[in-house]
Amino acid sequence: MVKKLVLAVLPILFSYFVVAQNPHLSGTVNVDLQTGQITCDFNLTNIPDLGKEYQILLNKGFNIKHLKNAKGEMIAYDGFYNGKMRGEGLTYLPKNEDKVIENPKQLEINYTGAFPIYANEYNFTDFKGLIAFNGKTLRAAEQSKWYPIIYDVKKDQLLEQVTYEITIKCSNAAQIFVNGDQPKPGPEAKFKSDVAIAPLLFIGNYKVQQTSNALFLNTDMNKAQLAVFEMEIAEMKAYYQKKLGIPYHTKNVIIEHTAVEKFNKGRIWGFATYPTIAIAGGNLAETVDEVNKKFKDSTDYPFYAHEVAHYYFGNVLQPNSTLFWFFLESTAEYLSVKATEAKFGKIYSNAYFKNACLNLKNFKVVPLNKITEINQIGGTYRYNYGPLILRGLEQMIGEKRTFEFLKACLKAKSKTTDYAFFKDQALLSGITEAEWIAFEKQFIESENVTDLIKY
């Protein structure tokens, strides 16, 4: 999520998560902060029985040394030549005599890659899917596919969350952190999680600060600033918990990292890999007003509220399929508007929707019921236009019933989040067929809803 201009330590309450068989990752990772080289020697076990309907995804910057089966025998694979991409990863398929190996319950994979060092230099962009070295730290989230990720073809779902037991080695790192375990001093440390989670990496030379409900990595806040920051986040959690009816007792990990894209002053970018929230582009200590006990800039509140909302849409519900971006980002942005409205009043939400409508006046979209491919919902669509669709639903049925719809989505288990899912959960939440038809005609099938939104 990028802020501005508008705009966790650890185990979570997992009883609300989709119950599924999660792969287990074990092995060793070697990282060099000065050269950008990463070498991994992994065993992937407990792989779900997907028959031949699976792929293995790995960041395009890695070169596979070998792939072996459970017996330690080298096996062939497709993808090394003219490989197909899925997001940030190349797709690989284990083969036996030109036939896909069915249900490989265990795979050994060894690979190496080197990535640019952005020390006083910049890329044209930075995003969650980038493996980012800056000479002092390495940041690698699950979206970057720094570890092998199984893709379930039938369900159109990435099995990013894994249990793990891995050793990280980095001779030039003072601290090493893997999402799901505590940060530990380098140059070598073992990490383990018996709860399935997406193992984000944050390695380098930084300070660790701790409060009663959070860890702060690479920040430089005093006790008063830490307390204010934690208080603001706790307020957002309490609002979501009350409105969505699902506990949010997670202790977060807040990372301040350096973007490898040049940011103008006042611009902040962040993402969530729960329980971690990673923020780039600013000094967190400078964002806190100790005297008045709040964020100095009011636009910081909705920015953080968006990332906090990903606990629900991104973790409790793990979107997939054609409406992936709508159910991941548009929902989180809509929730951030509602949380900020609860704090600052309707003057905020009215201004938000007015500005969005003015800025998107000429924006043309593919209606949600016509989406056939995930990336038809681009950045502007998912962050700015999608929330207007949810605002339209709120206009028709009211805020309370809109939250009932969102609750229904969160309670759905192992569903494909396509347009049929949208409609099914709406009807399950109590929206009538007649109301759905009216909503669909007005707000879904329109090429632009800005003239319909009230503020």
For residue range 277-302, list pLDDT tens digits in order: 999 877 899 889 998 999 988 889 99
Within a domain: 450: no
Please tell me the chain's helix, strand, coil percentages from 3-state DSSP, rounded to the nearest 5.
30, 30, 40
How much is the pLDDT for 161?
94
Provide the CA 123 distance to its chain's centre, in angstroms.
Answer: 21
- Asked if residue 167 and residue 43 are part of one domain, the reply reads yes
Give the other-Cβ count within 10 Å of 412's Cβ: 16
At 15, is the pLDDT very low, low, confident or very high (cuts 50, 70, 90)? very low
- Asked if residue 440 and residue 422 are part of one domain, the reply reads yes
Within a domain: 455: no
How much is the pLDDT for 242?
97
Overall number of domains in the chain: 3
pLDDT tens readout for residues 189-228: 999 999 999 999 999 999 999 998 899 999 999 999 999 9
- Asked if residue 227 and residue 179 are part of one domain, the reply reads no
Within a domain: 55: yes
CATH number, domain at 417? 1.10.390.10
- Asked if residue 153 and residue 102 are part of one domain, the reply reads yes
- Asked if residue 225 and residue 256 are part of one domain, the reply reads yes
Cα angle: 219, vertex 193, 24; to 5 degrees: 130
Domain end, chosen from 205, 220, 245, is at: 205
- Asked if residue 41 and residue 171 are part of one domain, the reply reads yes
- C-alpha span between 297 and 73 (Å, rounded): 58
pLDDT tens readout for residues 310-361: 999 999 999 999 999 999 999 999 999 999 999 999 999 999 999 999 999 9
- The count of residues in the chain is 455
- Asked if residue 217 and residue 120 are part of one domain, the reply reads no
Within a domain: 294: yes
114-125 average pLDDT score: 92
Identity of the amino acid at 431? I
Domain end, chosen from 205, 222, 253, is at: 205
How much is the pLDDT for 1?
61
Does residue 436 have a pLDDT over 90? yes
- Asked if residue 244 and residue 186 are part of one domain, the reply reads no
CATH number, domain at 81? 2.60.40.1730
Domain that holds residue 272: 2-12+209-309
Which pair of structure tokens corresponds to residue 222?
Answer: 């005093």
Q: Are 161 and 147 in contact (CB under 8 A)?
A: no
Q: Are 121 and 162 in contact (CB under 8 A)?
A: no
How much is the pLDDT for 17?
37
- Single out the residue of 405, 373, 417, 432 nearest to residue 87, CA to CA: 373
At 16, is the pLDDT very low, low, confident or very high (cuts 50, 70, 90)? very low
Q: Which of 23-37, 235-249, 250-264, 315-329 has the lowest mean pLDDT?
A: 250-264
pLDDT tens readout for residues 355-408: 999 999 999 899 999 999 998 999 999 999 999 999 999 999 999 999 999 999
At 14, is the pLDDT very low, low, confident or very high (cuts 50, 70, 90)? very low
> What residues pair up with 203 in beta bridges, in sequence order?
138, 176
How much is the pLDDT for 92?
97
Within a domain: 183: yes
Provide the CA 47 distance to its chain's centre, in angstroms.
Answer: 22
Cα angle: 113, vertex 169, 195; to 5 degrees: 95
Strand 162-169 relative to strand 24-32, pairing:
parallel
- C-alpha span between 315 and 324 (Å, rounded): 13
Within a domain: 315: no
Which pair of structure tokens corresponds to residue 380?
Answer: 């502007």
User: Any idea which residue has 């494909």 for tokens?
Assistant: 416
Does residue 19 have a pLDDT over 50? no
- Asked if residue 33 and residue 7 are part of one domain, the reply reads no
pLDDT tens readout for residues 65-95: 999 999 999 999 999 999 999 999 999 999 9
How much is the pLDDT for 414?
78
DSSP 8-state code for residue 329: I
Does residue 24 have a pLDDT over 50? yes
- C-alpha span between 413 and 428 (Å, rounded): 13
By percentage, how much of the chain surpasses pLDDT 70?
A: 96
101-117 average pLDDT score: 95
Does residue 4 have a pLDDT over 80? no
CATH number, domain at 272? 3.40.390
First to last CA, the chain: 24
Domain end, chosen from 205, 236, 266, is at: 205
How much is the pLDDT for 117?
96
Give the mean pLDDT of the chain: 92
Within a domain: 119: yes
- Asked if residue 121 and residue 134 are part of one domain, the reply reads yes
Within a domain: 453: no
- Asked if residue 286 and residue 398 are part of one domain, the reply reads no
- Asked if residue 389 and residue 263 are part of one domain, the reply reads no
